[in-house]
Every structure is written in C-alpha cells, then in structure tokens.
Structure 1
Amino acid sequence: MRIRCIVFVTSVYDEPNEQNTQTLMKTYESNVRPVAGDIIDDPGFDSRFHNGYEVAKVTLNYSDDECLVSLAPLVTDRETMPAKDYIDQLKMTGWKVLEQ
C-alpha cells in the first residue's frame, strides 16, 4: 500500500513567506498502516525543529491501495534551526513541496 504522509512546516518566529512555509508530502510503500496517535520517524526530520510528528488523521482509499496520513508536530516552539533550512533538509530526503 502507498502511504502518503503530509506535513505543514512554518516558522513560529518569522512572518510566513514562501521560503519558510510549505506543505510537503512523502510517499512510502508499506504493509503497515499508521493509525492516529502513532509517531512517525523519517531521516529528514530534525529534533532542532520539533520532537516528532504524530499521526493526526488517516484517510484510506482501498480502490487505489493508498493511505493518506496527516502529521501534526508535537512541539511548535523548538525552532533552533531556520524553517527554510528544515524545508531544504526535508526536500533532500525525498519530501516534495505540494503546489498550492
């Protein structure tokens, strides 16, 4: 099953702009389906920006064999690296910016 994780990244200290505010998605192939409350880990996640992402919502599409997972940050004030740098790091590990 395709697992599509979606996360919203923005700065809590700077005015939101295109460089520091993005919605990103990454697709995994897995037989394990996440459920609300699970904590997701990924090589692109960095503890200098947050302390983990919790599954907030799961939407299943059995006809497409797909699972859409919305992630919510556990902490939003742990921004010791700029949001822009964090977004760049996520992109380098396979996360794609969703076009608005």
Structure 2
Amino acid sequence: MKINLMIFISSAIEQEKSISMMKTFEYDIRPVKGDIMDDPGFHNGYEVVKVSINYASNECFVSLHPLASEIEEIKMETYIEKLEAHSWHVVSKEELNSM
C-alpha cells in the first residue's frame, strides 16, 4: 500500500507562514490514529491524528500532529530543509485540494 505521510508546519512569529509537506513510500502495515511516527527528517516523533484510506487506489493518507516551529525551538526554514533532505516535499494548496 502507498502511504502518504503529511505534516503541517506553521510559525506564530512569521505571521501567515505555513506549509504542508508530504513523504510517500510503500509499506504493508498502515498506521492508525495514536501511533507515533518517526523519520530521519523529524526533530521528534509525531503522533498520527488522522488516517484516510482509498482502497480503489491502494493508498493511505496519514495526517501527523501539526508542528509549531517555536515549540520545537528550531527555525522553520531549517526544519523544512531537514525534511527535504529526507525525501519530504512541499505540497501546494492546489495539490492538497485534489487529494
């Protein structure tokens, strides 16, 4: 099954600065709400807050707990760069609306 991990990153300091990122991979076990997902790109593990399954396309969309960069004490730009270095990519609002 294709698993699409999604995380929403925002900054209270940088008003109107928010971004959605996604990482996709194949996996036989699907996450469930409450699981803690770990990834080399993460500063910490993140809790799964929502799982949506599309059996027709054999894919699963997994929403992770949103990240407020000030809470993690890491600059938003630095965190995004770290995620991108580990196969995460920015998802546009148009792409989000089509999912």
| TM-score between the two structures when normalised by the length of structure 2 | 0.83
Task: Please give the residue correspondences for 1:1-100 in structure 2 after superposition, counting only pairs within 5 Å.
Answer: 1-17=1-17, 21-47=18-44, 52-73=45-66, 76=68, 77-100=70-93
Q: Which runs of 5 or more residues in structure 1 are unaligned?
A: none
Identity %: 42
SS of 1:54 mapped into structure 2 = strand
Q: Is the 8 A contact 1:4 1:27 kept in 2?
A: yes
Higher helix share: 2
Q: Is the 8 A contact 1:12 1:79 kept in 2?
A: no
| TM-score between the two structures when normalised by the length of structure 1 | 0.82
Cα displacement string for residues 5-64 of structure 1 (whole angstroms, at most 9, x for unaligned residues): 1100011333233xxx210000011001100000000000014xxxx3111111111111
Q: Show the counterpart of 2:97.
A: none
Cα displacement string for residues 45-98 of structure 1 (whole angstroms, at most 9, x for unaligned residues): 014xxxx3111111111111111111114x745232101110111111111101
State how far apart, in whole Å, the 2-side matches of 1:10 and 1:85 are: 13
Q: Which runs of 5 or more residues in structure 2 are unaligned?
A: 94-99
State how far apart, in whole Å, the 1-side matches of 2:60 and 2:78 are: 28
Task: Note the aligned Cα RMSD (angstroms).
Answer: 1.6
- Aligned AA for 1:24? M
